[in-house]
Amino acid sequence: MPMFLREFLSWMLRYRRTWKSTIVISVANPLLFLVAIGAGLGRLVDPSSLGGLTYLEFFAPGLIAAAAMQNAYIEGAFAVHGSLRRGQGYAVAAATPLEPRDIMAGHLLFMAFRIGTSALAFAVVMMALGATRSPWAVLTVPAALLTGMAFAAPLAAWTVTVDKFDTLNKVFRFVLMPMYLFSGTFFGIETLPDWLRPLAYVLPLWHGVDLCRTLSLGTATLLTSAIHVGYLGALTAAGVAAALVTYRRHIHV
Partner 1 sequence: MAGDDGATPLIQAEGLGKTYPPRDRRGTGFRAVAGIDFHVNRGEAFGFLGPNGAGKSSTMRMLGCVSPATEGTLRILGMDPARDGRKIRARLGVVPQDDVLDPDLTVRENLTMYGLYFGLPRRVIKERTERLLEFAQLEEKAGEPLGALSGGMRRRLTIARSLINEPDILLLDEPTTGLDPQARHVLWDRLFRLKQQGVTLLLTTHYMDEAEQLCDRLVVMDKGLIADEGSPQELIRRHSTREVLELRFRIDEHEQAAEKLHDLVRPGEGERVEVLPDRVLVYTHDGETTLAAVTAARMTPITALVRRSTLEDVFLRLSGRTLTD
Residue 25 is a binding residue for partner 1 (CB under 8 A): no
Nearest CA-CA partner of 98 in 215, 251, 236: 251
* Measured torsion, CA atoms of residues 105, 107, 108, 112, in degrees rounded to the nearest 10: 130
Stretch that binds partner 1, among 6-14, 30-38, 164-172, 177-185 (CB under 8 A): 6-14
Contact 111, 190 (CB under 8 A): no
- In this complex, which beta carbon is closest to partner 1, that of residue 37 or of residue 91? 91
Select from 44, 48, 97, 202 the one that contacts partner 1 (CB under 8 A): 97
Interaction between residue 10 and partner 1 (CB under 8 A): yes
What's the burial of 61, exposed, middle or buried (CB within 10 Å: 0-12/13-18/19+)?
Answer: buried
Among 24, 25, 32, 92, binds partner 1 (CB under 8 A): 92
Contact between 13 and partner 1 per CB under 8 A: yes
Residue (102 or 210) nearer to partner 1, CB: 102
Q: Of 240, 225, 75, nearest to 150 (Cα)?
A: 240
Q: Which stretch binds partner 1 (CB under 8 A): 90-98, 110-118, 176-184, 194-202?
A: 90-98
Residues 6 or more apart whose CB falls under 8 angstroms from that of 159 comprise 76, 77, 80, 81, 84, 168
Find all residues with CB under 8 Å of 133, minimum gap 6, and list them: 57, 216, 217, 218
Q: Candidates 94, 150, 160, 232: give the one binding partner 1 (CB under 8 A).
A: 94
Contact 197, 175 (CB under 8 A): no
C-beta of 4 vs 151, nearer to partner 1: 4
CB 16 within 8 A of CB 110: no
User: Where in 195-236 does DSSP place strands (E)?
Assistant: none
Question: Which residues in the 177-236 window bind partner 1 by CB under 8 A?
Answer: none
**Least distance from C-beta 210 to partner 1, angstroms?**
37
User: Any contact of residue 89 with partner 1 (CB under 8 A)?
Assistant: yes
CB of 87 to partner 1, least distance (A): 7
20 binds partner 1 (CB under 8 A): no
Q: Which stretch binds partner 1 (CB under 8 A): 92-100, 145-153, 182-190, 233-241?
A: 92-100
Instruction: Using CB under 8 A, list all residues that contact partner 1.
Output: 1, 3, 6-7, 9-10, 13-14, 17-18, 87-89, 91-99, 251-253
